[in-house]
Amino acid sequence: MDGGRDDRAPLLDLREVDETQVSIVGGKAAHLGALSRIDGIRVPAGFCVTTAAFRRIMAQTPSIDDRLDELSRLSPDDREAIGPLSAEIRRSVEETAIPGDLAAAITGALARFGEQAAYAVRSSATAEDTPTASFAGQQDTYLNVVGPEAILRHVGRCWASLFTERAVIYRLRNGIDHRTVQMAVVVQQMVFPDASGILFTADPVTGNRKVATVDASFGLGEALVSGLVNPDVFTVRDGEVVAGTVAAKQRAVAALPGGGTREVEIDTQRQEQPALTRAQVVRLVRLGRRIEAHFGRPQDIEWCLVGDDFQIVQSRPITTLFPIPVADDQENHVYLSVGHQQMMTDAMRPLGLSMWQLTAMAPMLAAGGRLFVDATRLLASPASRAGFLTMAGRDDPLMKDALETLIDRRDFIPTLPEQGGPGKPTTGGASTSIETDPAIVTELVERSEASIAALRRDIATVTGTALFDFLLDAFQEHKRVLGDPLNMQAIMAGMEATWWLNDRLHEWLGEKNAADTLTLSAPGNITSEMGLALLDVADVIRPYPEVVAFLQDVAHDDFLDELPKVAGGAEARVAIEAYLDRYGMRCVGEIDITRPRWSERPSTLVPVLLDNVKLFEPGAARRRFEQGRQQAQRQAQEVLTRLRALPDGQQKADETARMIDQVRAFIGYREYPKYDIVSRYFAYKQALLAEAERLVRAGVLTEAEDVFYLTFQEFHEVARTHRVDDELIRQRRDAFRSYQTLTPPRVLTSDGEAITGAYRRDDVPAGALAGVPVSSGTVEGRARVILDMAQADLEAGDILVTAHTDPSWTPLFVGIAGLVTEVGGLMTHGAVIAREYGLPAVVSVLDATRLIRDGQRIRVHGSDGYVEILP
């Protein structure tokens, strides 16, 4: 065997490879080679048939390129086409004869260990066992293979297993080109263990990095992997077994003398004996920690016990764990998800993350493509804890419950000494810091518009490195406008008045969520106005059937250029462009600057616009707003009349009237600061993309959107030096793709534990889904589970069920009858707009998009906070 790193070498000894040679030996072999170099870790000896051999076989396989082209064009859901085509490719690969020199090299290597010895023949693909994709179980392993002829045959089967149906679908779903993945094959001496199993160096369920779990059973590990037996399960923390369950292991998989394996019965007296002693479990975890330290991340490790000796037969990263924000100390930390507050829990690209960090009003940490705030000090201080938990509970009861769960343990969050007097919890009392004057909102909006106009004017004059210096100053102005005390007072005034009305009117009149009706059609809400404005655009389009027909066939974002060619198209284009001038900076996930804005991708709005044409009559926007305003007015009069009939009724009525005036004056402004932010973001983005285009023309970047995978600071450095690390961008793309598959936790500890929280309520009917009531009323209808706004196709009476909504979803709200989301609270955007439009809504319903199927009939209880799935 060639002991060098020549990627043309057909064979390499496992001791000659490490994790830097994945492209030559695949992920599994690279990890095995690295494992064999760790002091104290035993790995069965063997060699690897490299990807050079695989490339030779593929070059000789008939018509392989045409069939790979056909495979790449298939949808991952088209199993009827994938199954036969992948089977055809596998047959062709298996039937391709191994060249004589390669076969001789393999049989020559076997002579070192004995030609008639038993081996494990294992697939090792170049895309498996990486930090971002484990490919666990995607390719094949063959145990107890005896004799050169059988080994050559199974090497061919391993090559072919790159095209199993499950492997093909996995690659299609993860956007991995079939041609970029190659197959090496590991041939290892067979181990005949007394026990075997899996060690996770972090808890795979909670994510806790300080907890290890061991699954163990008798015989070969295939019994456990295939689900033939329930294993013994041990939990280890700080070098001690803290929990253990011994299962009745009735069967095992054993090796046959002439090759192959079979199931065997375990002796009845032995079935309930532990496969490992507790001392062995602790020793195994110590080995696992050594392996974890070498690879720098938690590992999923397959092990065998022979006598009292552990051998490691595989180690791969645990790719399902949510990454932990990096701290510069060894203290315990509690991190809260920013995305759950911003109603956007999707992964963000590095430029989006860094731009939000640079413009946010509080320090934020990035992990897993998401942002978190460190709440440890607020929770550690008794003076601030109560108020913070009250605020968290108003916004997201699940987050509050998760935090209380952590606090109740008393061993994670440190308690800081009291500083000053006791803290005053936030109770949602009336705001006394601002007068109820609509002119205040007018002044704030005018200030904002003037500041944004200056930004757009000035940013157009700077390029190159000067742009980045300009932006750093612009970020300070951005934060100054948002942090203006009057701005904060106006935001809080509307929120506090809402809380006051809900609390007091429930106490005095037994009214649930009384503010919901009182805030209908509140003036000055830029987000609700945006939804109604699209109804006005529909009014322009509706009289022109040719425009409607044209829009139904829109497939590209340049459709506005073609629109004037049809009758009425010129008028339609003017209306759409006017809408985009006002709202075109918005988009789904708008806190991420890298997301395409409506102005950049106007086709996103077309399905919603067509729904508005279909579902509404002319003048619907004005009628809806006026109906809501009158309903709120009637509710106010009714409430005040009922209050006056109570003891001290006039005083209660006077207080309530002041709060109604306050909520009407300020609750609409709650949405404006976000509009300010995204307006600035669009100006920043346009300038940064123009700079990226200049770098593309200069030959520095391959494409402008490469900068989305750089932080703002890194982009600045590229503009200064005209040098870019293409490999870093590739790695960031891969990482982002993997982050998209992760679900961010509401609460995450520095140990890596994800804490979800739970509803502890006894007022929810059996089988119903609990959530947060944010907009009153009960509605029954068809559930439309929509994860992409551009795919919306609504009918009158439909109830929107989605993961989260930010302001960009508002145009959909005008055409639905109710709302259910997985994320949100009383004052998040979806809740505010649902109340403005009078839509019954329940938010923060765990797993709503999974538990509710598209098309099911559901009943939304917006006053009581639960959703029923109907027969």
Residues 181, 27 contacting (CB under 8 angstroms):
no
Is 829 labeled as catalytic in the residue annotation? yes
User: What is the spatial distance between Cα 112 and Cα 94, in angstroms, rounded to a whole number?
Assistant: 26
The residue whose two tokens read 């009323």 is 777
Which parts of 320-411 are beta strand (E)?
Answer: 334-337, 365-367, 370-374
Q: Residue 196: CB partners within 8 Å, gap ≥ 6?
A: 216, 217, 219, 220, 221, 224, 302, 303, 304, 305
> Which residue type sits at 62?
P
Going by the DSSP 8-state scheme, the letter that residue 413 receives in this structure is S
3-state secondary structure of 749: strand
- Listed in sequence order, the residues at least 6 apart from 639 whose beta carbon sits closer than 8 Å to its beta carbon are 505, 509, 511, 514, 518, 656, 660
One-letter identity of residue 147: G
CB 806 within 8 A of CB 343: yes
For 93, list phi and psi in degrees, rounded to 5.
-65, -45
Coil/strand/helix, residue 252: strand
Using CB atoms within 10 Å of the CB of residue 834, give its burial: 0 to 12 exposed, 13 to 18 middle, 19+ buried. Answer: buried
Within 8 A by CB and 6+ apart from 161, the residues are 90, 123, 139, 140, 167, 183
Cα Rg of the chain, angstroms:
31
For 790-800, give one letter per residue: b (16+ CB within 10 A) or e: eebebeeebbb
The span from the CA of 825 to the CA of 866, in Å, is 14
Ramachandran region of residue 858, left (φ > 0), alpha (ψ -120 to 50) or beta?
A: beta
Chain centroid to CA 123: 30
Candidates 154, 716, 829, 861; catalytic one: 829
Cβ neighbours of residue 687 under 8 Å, at least 6 residues apart? 459, 460, 462, 467, 471
SS3 779: strand
Catalytic residue numbers read 829
